[in-house]
Structure 1
Amino acid sequence: MTKRVFTGFIIVLFFALTPAFLFSVEVDWVSGNVTYSHLKGEWKDLDIGMNLAAGDIIKTGMGSEVSLREVDFEIYIQENSTFTISEKYEDGDRKSSFMLFFGRMKFKLARSGKKEPEIQTQTISLTIRGTEFEVGSGYDGSTLVLMSEGSVTVKGDKSELVLMQGEGTEVPFGEEPTEKFEVITKVIDWDKWFNTSQESIKGNEIVFLNKILVRFQAIDAKIKDFERIRAVSLKEKEVLLKKRDESKEKGNMDEASGYSKKAGEVSKKAFHSIVNIRFLALSSIGLFDMAENIYKGVEKPSGEQKDIFEKIDVIYKDIEDKYIRAGDRERIEQKAKKKKGCLKPY
């Protein structure tokens, strides 16, 4: 497989309101050159037995692999891949999410598994239903999914496609999943597939940069929506807490308890917004890396190419300045130790 050249720094998001309970996965096996980074920390060697949390990014080098394990599933990350652990809230429920920025991975859900995490690439998201499958994410943002067992729903922005055992699909960057094929009828040469995804960019840099810009604008709009929800929720919380205190002063403890409960509910909504903003900001990291590699791959960028990339850079830097901050992993771990099933110190 052609080795990818990564440009710039990959930065990971941290919020002051990090939850005391964090989803984590354990490093089960490592082969070759595998590193990880958390927050704005340095890149370190990844070792067996480590526990990785939301916001950790993994890189595998040439000829290197790593497997991650949780009670309900296993993930095998192949060589020359960039993979991120994240989480988000949907309809009030916390959901673990894994982002394959570039490279190839295999996923296997335990037969008794109840947790069904989401897999994200630059193009699609995968909703899992008791399954085993393989995913590739190319230089041009395209995604290839191959099913071995079970089923998976491949979701684009507007449509979705259900794959069953023995089926596959390939989705170009910025497009919707529409067609599937029988895996047995299509021999996949992964080295060739990645090389083709790299070659497809040449001469089409403006097309790809424009698609990335549209995606960044959508991410930015969603972040602003969650910020509005958070601001409204926090203001509502203040009003409810004031009413609670007034009820307590009057000796109406039942009424005060009701206001406290409502304040807790809107506070939770504000917290969910923060987690979802973090999820969106994390997804922008790989997208910017893709844009930067495309732009820097042009020997003499045209004025139009430069203009599009600068617009992408402005949006990303704004997200970085507002939501991506240095943090302290050790402090997070100390908090997490207080909750069952959280990060373990290493």
Structure 2
Amino acid sequence: MSGFPQWPDHEAVLIRTGARSGLPVVIAMHSSVLGPFAGGCRIWRYPRWQDGLEDALRLSAAMTAKFAAAGLARGGGKSVVAMPEGYELTPAAKRAILLDVGDAIESLDGRYATGPDVGTSPQDMVVIGEQTSHVFCKPAEEGGSGDSSPATAEGSVAALSAIGAWLDGGDSPRLDGLRVAVVGLGSVGARIAALLSEAGAELVLSDIDAAKKAVADRLGARWCEDPHEALTADVDVVVPAALGGVLTEEIVPELRCRAIAGPANNQLAVPQVADALHERGIAWVPDYIASAGGVIHAITVELDKRTEEEALLRVRGIEDTVAGLLQSADDRGVALAVVAEEMVRARLGAR
């Protein structure tokens, strides 16, 4: 088990070979202090299957923090299916994988429930649901809460509203005139950009897919072909909205923003980047807070059986959470990440 320092912090890890696909299915269960485990199902290609295991360990720990920060009675979990590089993911192959995931989840007798993540969709949850009832974010027509992207975007914009007020030196949410760079225009990033544009923000947009320039054209935003250019643009806030690891020790000196908050998971290449950002006077809102809207909505509606109105109130509550963290970090002269981690530990009753 050497090489996986997070392992001792996890309550359980299930690793099994899928009966249909022959691929390794990993379910990492981090902490059930607050409630049953929950977290997305990721299907992705890895150089080694052990890399998928490491991803599951890291992501499940982040889910624990996300649930704790959001005040949800759930524990962090994550399922990962590690495909070898070059694996041909045909529709039949994907169905086999999803059914294998369903088998693995069902074997846990309700301890873990899953939803969509990288490589899976609400429709994929229907297939997993053929083998287990412990699944969320099915399409609305299948009785689920559907695509989590709108709620994830709504939560991210709530965080940005708090940052806007903080930068303005006041208490009132502010997006109008805020200069924002959104890096990554997938389903969530594009929605964030649209909401910000509607609120009057000035946008810089970028994506590795050149076709996404159409989003910038539609919103009247400045387009950057190179995501690095957008990350280092002269703006108020940078919003990482693609895959993780974009905030490296090397890029910190190049940043010209005053704050960073976005839905991308695992934004820091290494934990020390949080300290480097603080030293530069850049407020970084941990991704497990800014990206929590989707899971807050899904858990509230599907697992907690509450109304859409209650779910939306919880999602928008991210604004108050971020505002409180910004104020506390300022008062104490510490990085916002430090205050956020203390809040999570307190809610978990950490030893």
Indicate the structure (1 or 2) with the bigger Cα radius of gyration.
1
TM-score, length of structure 1 as denominator length: 0.30
TM-score, length of structure 2 as denominator length: 0.29
Greater helix fraction, Structure 1 or Structure 2: 2
Greater strand fraction, Structure 1 or Structure 2: 1
Greater RCO, CA 8 A, separation 6+: 1
